[in-house]
């Protein structure tokens, strides 16, 4: 796998979407297992729900995985959206504005705990007092914020992320509008487009023929011309790794070259 794909992304959910009984592995545990099994790729969650773990614990877990993987961890995180899951596990599910405020404070706490041996923080939602997280990472984990919200989420990603991830919903006008919001917010905050990597999640089945592969490749080429340079690919549930062969040979390899 590491000869072709650059990273592994694991969804942060607790049970399935069609049926609650559908198997769904806990994201941190699974990502840690993958990091040990695949030593040459990066790892990210797609994306952590900010309300599922206390921010200081998130920061500590991130610094630990960054240390254990030799700096191959990306902190992928968002404001959370799946209300039924929050409620089922006994977590509060505040209104969106508050969840995004919690997300911003969580990132502030993470960066403090990754750089300060005795950090303290007193925010509107979270506080820490000396929450040390040794060993401090030699390289801070890049922060990927997953969001599509044009009023709150994307402006936050422009302020606080190293990677912005959004999802392809089949509407190019909507996608370009979100991209343009991001570009304006970056400019307003004194940041450059090169400061943030634009990442796009695509949910689609694997191509089964040369013609389907060509169509997929053409679509990715279009996204690249619009400034998206990283793709998170959700192929559903392929029955074997061999099903990726057409995609690798007729989509990935031509694009790389």
Question: Which pLDDT score, from 0 to 100, does residue 222 have?
Answer: 98
Residue 99 within any structural domain of the chain? yes
Is 240's pLDDT higher than 90?
A: no
176 domain-assigned? yes
- pLDDT band for position 257 (cuts 50, 70, 90): confident
**Residue 73 falls inside a structural domain:** yes
3-state secondary structure of 198: strand
Kindly give the pairing relationship between strand 42-45 and strand 73-78.
parallel
The domain tally of the chain equals 1
- Secondary structure letter of residue 183 according to DSSP: H
Q: What is the pLDDT of residues 169-193, one digit of tens each?
A: 999 999 999 999 999 999 999 999 9
pLDDT tens sequence across 23-79: 899 999 999 999 999 999 999 999 999 999 999 999 999 999 999 999 999 999 999
This prediction has a pTM of 0.96
C-alpha to C-alpha distance for 65 and 25, rounded to whole angstroms: 18
CATH no. for residue 46? Answer: 3.20.20.30
Residue 3 has pLDDT above 80, yes or no: no
**What is the extent of the structural domain holding 23?**
7-205+234-240
Q: Is residue 215 part of a domain?
A: no
Cis peptide leading into 175, omega within 30 of 0?
no
Q: pLDDT tens digits for 68-112?
A: 999 999 999 999 999 999 999 999 999 999 999 999 999 999 999
**Is the per-residue pLDDT at 210 higher than 80?**
yes
Q: Is the pLDDT of residue 1 over 80?
A: no
Whether 145 shows a pLDDT value over 90: the answer reads: yes
What dihedral angle (degrees, nearest 10) is formed by the CA atoms of 56, 131, 44, 143?
A: 90
Distances from the Cα of 214 to the Cα of 6, 206, 242, angstroms: 21, 12, 19
Q: Which residues contact 140 (CB under 8 A, 6 or more apart)?
A: 66, 111, 114, 115
**For the chain, what is the mean pLDDT?**
96
User: Domain for residue 183, yes or no?
Assistant: yes
Residue 228 lies in a domain: no
The answer to whether residue 2 is domain-embedded is no
- Does residue 192 lie within any of the structural domains? yes
């Amino acid at each position: 796998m590491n000869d072709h794909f650059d990273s592994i992304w694991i969804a942060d959910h607790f049970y399935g979407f069609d049926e609650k009984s559908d198997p769904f592995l806990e994201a941190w545990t699974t990502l840690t297992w993958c990091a040990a099994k695949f030593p040459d790729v990066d790892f990210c969650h797609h994306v952590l729900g900010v309300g599922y773990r206390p921010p200081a614990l998130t920061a500590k877990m991130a610094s630990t995985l960054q240390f254990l993987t030799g700096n191959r961890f990306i902190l992928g995180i968002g404001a959370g959206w799946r209300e039924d899951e929050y409620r089922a596990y006994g977590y509060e599910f505040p209104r969106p504005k508050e969840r995004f405020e919690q997300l911003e404070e969580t990132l502030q706490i993470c960066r403090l705990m990754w750089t300060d041996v005795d950090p303290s923080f007193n925010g509107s939602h979270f506080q820490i007092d000396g929450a040390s997280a040794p060993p401090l990472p030699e390289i801070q984990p890049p922060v990927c914020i997953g969001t599509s919200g044009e009023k709150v989420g994307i402006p936050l990603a422009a302020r606080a992320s190293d990677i912005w991830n959004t999802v392809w919903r089949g509407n190019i006008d909507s996608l370009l509008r979100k991209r343009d919001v991001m570009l304006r917010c970056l400019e307003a905050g004194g940041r450059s487009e090169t400061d943030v990597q634009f990442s796009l999640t695509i949910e689609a089945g694997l191509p089964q023929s040369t013609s389907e592969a060509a169509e997929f490749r053409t679509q990715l080429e279009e996204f690249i011309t619009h400034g998206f340079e990283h793709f998170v690919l959700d192929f559903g549930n392929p029955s074997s790794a061999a099903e990726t062969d057409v995609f690798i040979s007729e989509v990935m390899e031509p694009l790389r070259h």
